[in-house]
Amino acid sequence: MNFGKQLKEGLITNNPVLVQVLGMCSTMAITTSIMNGLGMGVSVLIILTASNVVISAIRKIVPDKIRIAMFIVVIAGFVTCVDLLLQAFVPAIAESLGVFIPLIVVNCIILGRAESFSYKNGIAASFVDGICQGIGYTLVLLAMCFIRELLGAGTLAGFRIIPEQFPIGVLTLPVGGFLVLGCLIAAMQWALSRNKK
């Protein structure tokens, strides 16, 4: 187990959004304000870490044939817990994220990590993997939110930075999400290929 290497993978070389291109739906839909991005990122980080640990712990008793069903049950359980806890203790975030919290169940980052990492590795490594991949996801969300909220709405975490008449409104719409995400992925790939040479 190598924490530094796993962190580097999660953040850069195997970033869940920009390199594995997983979890597009939530990345596109909720990155319109910093608070949304933070709420979603932290929720996914917690669920991913918890489900990674549990799946790694039960990996030896799970029959191969029904592993996906088992993963989904475990993930859905954690997602529902987080959903209920958010509704009970931070209703403002639960409301603005709406249906995207329950939809974390089908977020492919979590199922992807279960299948490709925690089903094959030990508990400690899976725990670290969950945290690193979760941080990678959260940072990309925050970058998207930063660009879309600042340029699209002219605010940051609700505070007005750019006067109301100047922001590029289209960036807060779905099409703006595609544009920003496309540019980020392109920049990431360029940086990675440049590094290789």
Partner 1 sequence: MSNEVKTKEKVNMDPKYIAKLAVTLLVTCVVVAGLLGFVNKLTLPNITAANEKKTAEAIQKVLPELEGSPVAMELTEDMTAAASGAGATVTEAYEAQAGGSTIGYALKIVASGSQGNIEMMVGVDTEGAVSGVSIVKNSETSGIGSKVMTNQPTAKGVGVLDQFEGKTAADAPLNVGTNVDAISGATVSSKGVTTGVNAALAVAGVIG
CA diameter of the chain:
60
Whichever of 25 and 66 has its CB closer to partner 1, that residue is 66
CA dist list (Å): 6 to 54, 113, 164? 19, 13, 42
* DSSP label at residue 105: G
Least distance from partner 1 to the Cβ atom of residue 67, Å: 8
Binding residues for partner 1 restricted to 126-185, rule: CB under 8 A: 152-153, 169, 172-173
CA dihedral of 3, 47, 109, 157, whole degrees rounded to 10: -90
The nearer residue to partner 1, 25 or 73, going by C-beta atoms, is 73
33 sits in the region (left: phi over 0; alpha: psi -120 to 50; else beta) called beta
Show the site string, 19-38: x = touches partner 1 by CB under 8 A, - = not: -------------x------
d(CA 49, CA 101): 16
Q: Is 191 in the site for partner 1 (CB under 8 A)?
A: no
Q: Which residues bind partner 1 (CB under 8 A)?
A: 32, 58, 61-66, 69-70, 73-74, 76-77, 80-81, 84-85, 87-89, 91, 95, 98-99, 115, 152-153, 169, 172-173
